Each structure stands twice: as structure tokens, then as C-alpha cells.
Structure 1
Amino acid sequence: MTTEKKLTGKIARERIRLMETPRPPAGLIEGFKSLGDASGIVSDILDELGITGAVAATTLRPTIAGKCIVGPALTVRNIVQREHPYETAKAHVNKMAEFEAHNLALPGDVVVIDGVAGVSNMGGISAQTGKRQGEAGAIVHGGIRDISHSRSVDYPLWSSEVTPVTGKSRIETVEINGDIEIAGIRVSPGDIVLADDTGVCFIPRGRAEEVLALCLAKSQAEDRKVRIIVEGASVADLPTNA
């Protein structure tokens, strides 16, 4: 059932492509979560299927070590404002609207921002709002700030930059829940996001069940290989196809 959302007024309704992020099939998110910190396994399967979807943690760095999140993508696209930032700052103009994404978020969603470099696309108050909304976390291709704040409320982010420079007078949000591009990868609303210490994987929602089935099989094979190593098998006897 679709839940009606009251817009905050920061972004025109026509810029919101979908009022609700497409929901994954029952059990899909739980299945990916059961893999643990498995971006490596997911990346391998995406390779086997010819899907481009993995981004290294050197490009999108986690703010909280040891976190692993899985959820459907709620997408945001930001661009640079035309006006000079000092003029907009003096006039208190703020065209950022990731709070509208928080307003639309359902528990477990992952906010994914196609952002602006060199400035913050999400700060501490925004992160705390996302935590309050039940979001799993956020992926930001661009800058973020106030990471001690987001850490204190246990809201994990992965970002390409950390900066004190505000985006409020520099950024305009032009679309929510449309297709975006993150580090050269197309991400659509409802695509599955898996992020851990090693990197971030974007799994097209139409292929997610296929990807999960292959990931589960590969994970089981790797678990068997680990057991063999622990049991003391010689290196020559170790399986090489796991």
C-alpha cells in the first residue's frame, strides 16, 4: 500500500520521479544481509554476469569501520548552483533537498546521492534525520561533513570526500528518485545497495534475485574452503574454484 507523504516544500513535486522507492521482493534484503561483509563476493558475481556495479572503498570511503548495510536505493541528484555562493549565503538561499529524500524514505532505504565535489552534500543534522527515519545509511559521490555527528547517531556513510565546506549556498537538488550515476555506474531507484569496509556494490533490481542465488552458492563454497584450511589441508589440496 502506498503511503502518502507530505512534501517539505524545498523541492518542487515535478522533480520527484517516484514518491516511493520500489520495494524488493520478500526475503531479498535478508538474503544479501546473510552474506555479511560480502562486497567481494558480490563483485565477483557481477563480473560473471557482465554487470558493472562495484566501487572500491578507496573511492567511496566508509565513515564507520565494520559496518555492512544492504537496502534499496533512494536516489538524489545534485548540481552546482548558478549563483555565486557568497551571494546565496548572504541571502540565506538553500536549494539542497536531501531532506525531501529523508521525508520519502521507508525503513531500510539507502540514500544514494550523485553529488557535487568539494562541498558537503550531507551533514550531521541530515544524517541524524535519516537515522530517525530508519534508513540503513547513505552513499554520497561528493563531499560530506560533520562525520563525528553521524557516527554518534550510528548512521553510516560512504563518500568520496570529507570537507567542512557547506553545500547549502552552492548546491541545487534537481531530482529525487530518478536515475543517477555514481563513479561511472548507473543507479536506479530500488536497485540494491550493499556496502562494507571493502567497497560498495550496486545491484540492478531486475537482476537482484539472480545475483543473490549465485552469491549464496559462492559464499557456501568459500566457507567450505575456509574449513578445509582450518582443518590443515595442504596448499596443494586446496580447491581453486571457490
Structure 2
Amino acid sequence: MNDTLAFDMTPKLTGKISADRIRVLRTPRPPDGLIEKLKRIPDATSVIADVMDELGITGAIGTSTLKPTLPNASIVGPALTVRNVVQREHVYEAARRSVNRMAEFEAHNLALPGDVVVIDGVAGVSNMGGISAQTGKRQGEAGAIVSGGIRDVGHSRRADYPLWATEITPVTGKWRIETVEINGDIQIAGIRVSPGDIVVADETGVCFIPIARAEEVAERALAKANFELEKCLAIDAGAAVADLPSKE
């Protein structure tokens, strides 16, 4: 008898977003070994940003824009995308009637272990709070990237759920935001992100690698990281500046 627990992986919608607004039911999975390869790169976003420049790929954003909530956090995983817009109903009327159209919980519902929730969100209000972050941690997500506000930072830190966001605010998005699409193409700081694109985030920044180029980027980034390690070892050994390795 197989002792492995069986789970019903069929998404169960809460009713806050219709099924036709979920463009991809399952986030595309990365090739075997790709995530592990990228995790081996120290100072990953800096190295990957250089490689993406060399390959003509736009996709790097600094932490001056997307600020991390956990020091020394680093994550790698496929993007599970969410798009939020401002709710049309007046905020106080929506609050009075408890009209909550936020649906990032549907993204948690779809998430597979290692996914990174990426939210094209609304500025000035929270697109993800502490309970949402705790749920994401429970689902095995690597973390989340939010263009827009987040709140309950202490809660998400206690849950050890890494977040990168453009804003932190106590103002709830419950009565102000409507989630209009999950797993469609989104824009983060002018960069297009598609479901399954590889997200690499650390204390220096965030890189979005198009899945079609991810293997190429990973190979080049590993080679560059190994070259930089060689250079650092030469520095530690006392090599003269003129004698340091200068070509990869």
C-alpha cells in the first residue's frame, strides 16, 4: 500500500474571481535542475543582470524600487502572476457592504511548492497582508514580489515569508482593489513578466528571466560566477592588481 498522502489538486475558487480570468491553471514548470543551478550562484541578481545585458534581455530591478522585507533573503522560482486594479465602487460603500474583490488567495490556491507570487498591484494600498503571506508560506511558495503596497510586515517576517515590494502601508486593499487576472502577462516596473518566467530575488534586486532564455542565462551566469570566484581567490592570495584574471 502506498503511504503517500493524496491531495486533490483541483483549484477550488472562492468566488472572488471567475475561472475565465485564470489564464493558466498550472504555472509552467522550469526544466529539471534549472532552479538548483541558479541557487548555486552567489550575489545572483548582480551576476544575472550582467548576463542579461550581454544577451539583450531586459529584466533587472534594484531593491531601491522593490524593497525586501527580510534581510539576507534570496529566492528562485517560477512566477505565478496576479493583476490587480482599483475597484470601481467607492471605498466606504464597499467597506460598509463588505465588498472584497481581492483574490490573491486564488493564486495561493494554485501555487505549487517553490512558486513565486508576482503581483502587478495598486499603489498606496496593501495588495498582500500577513494572513496572505502566512498562507503562501503554508503552500510552500518561495515568496512574493509586489509592485504596490503590502502590510503586516511583522506578521510576514514571523512567518518567514520573503516579500519584495514597492511600498509598505497599513491601508487595506480589501475595499479598494479588484483582482482581474491570474497567470496572465503582467508589468512590473515596466518589465513584462509571464507565468513561469524565472524570478531571482536577493538583497540587491530582482531579476525576471524569460523562461525561454532561462537555461542560457543560467549557464552563462554560472560561468561568470566561477570566474569571479577565481578572481576573489587571487585577491585573497595577494596577487597584484595587474595579474588578476581579466577575461572569463
Is the TM-score greater than 0.5? yes
List per-residue Cα deviations over 1:178-200 (Å, max 9, x = no partner).
00000000000000000000000
Identify the match of residue 7 of structure 1 among 6, 9, 13: 13
Quick check: 1:128–1:155 contact (8 Å CA) kept in 2?
yes
Q: Secondary structure at the match of 1:172?
A: strand
Q: What code does the residue aligned with 1:214 have?
A: R
Identify the match of residue 198 of structure 1 among 189, 194, 204: 204
1:8 Cα offset (Å): 2.1
List per-residue Cα deviations over 1:21-71 (Å, max 9, x = no partner).
000010000010111331000000000000000000000000001010000
* Structure 2 gap segments, 5+ residues each: 1-7
Q: Secondary structure at the match of 1:55?
A: strand
Quick check: 1:37–1:68 contact (8 Å CA) kept in 2?
no
1:216 Cα offset (Å): 0.6
Who is 1:78 aligned against? Answer: 84
Quick check: 2:145–2:165 contact (8 Å CA) kept in 1?
yes
Q: What code does the residue aligned with 1:57 have?
A: T
Q: What code does the residue aligned with 2:165 have?
A: S
* TM-score in terms of structure 1 length: 0.98
Identify the match of residue 209 of structure 1 among 182, 204, 215: 215
Aligned residue pairs: how many? Answer: 241
Q: What code does the residue aligned with 2:209 have?
A: I
User: Does residue 44 of structure 2 align to residue 38 of structure 1?
Assistant: yes
Q: What is the rounded CA distance, in whole Å, between the counterparts of 2:9 and 2:70 in structure 1?
A: 32
1:233 Cα offset (Å): 0.6
Q: What is the rounded CA distance, in whole Å, between the counterparts of 2:132 and 2:57 in structure 1?
A: 32
Identify the match of residue 165 of structure 1 among 161, 171, 174: 171
Quick check: 2:42–2:225 contact (8 Å CA) kept in 1?
no
Who is 1:114 aligned against? Answer: 120
1:231 Cα offset (Å): 0.2
* Structure 1 gap segments, 5+ residues each: none
Quick check: 2:76–2:198 contact (8 Å CA) kept in 1?
yes
1:91 Cα offset (Å): 0.9
Quick check: 1:36–1:68 contact (8 Å CA) kept in 2?
no
Range with greater deviation from structure 2 (2-11 or 74-83): 2-11
Q: What is the rounded CA distance, in whole Å, between the counterparts of 1:50 and 1:21 in structure 2?
A: 25
Who is 2:107 aligned against? Answer: 101
1:241 Cα offset (Å): 3.4
Q: Secondary structure at the match of 1:41?
A: helix
Q: What code does the residue aligned with 2:37 have?
A: G
Range with greater deviation from structure 2 (8-17 or 188-197): 8-17
1:111 Cα offset (Å): 0.0
Quick check: 2:148–2:167 contact (8 Å CA) kept in 1?
yes
Q: What is the rounded CA distance, in whole Å, between the counterparts of 2:122 and 2:128 in structure 1?
A: 11
RMSD value, Cα: 1.0
Who is 1:128 aligned against? Answer: 134
Who is 1:227 aligned against? Answer: 233
Q: What is the rounded CA distance, in whole Å, between the counterparts of 1:225 and 1:61 in structure 2?
A: 30
1:238 Cα offset (Å): 1.6
Q: What is the rounded CA distance, in whole Å, between the counterparts of 1:216 and 1:106 in structure 2?
A: 26
Structure 1 segments of 4 or more deviating over 3 A? Answer: none
Identify the match of residue 55 of structure 1 among 48, 61, 69: 61
Who is 2:247 aligned against? Answer: 241
Q: What code does the residue aligned with 2:152 have?
A: D
Q: What is the rounded CA distance, in whole Å, between the counterparts of 2:37 and 2:185 in structure 1?
A: 25
Q: What code does the residue aligned with 2:73 have?
A: K
Q: What is the rounded CA distance, in whole Å, between the counterparts of 2:42 and 2:145 in structure 1?
A: 18
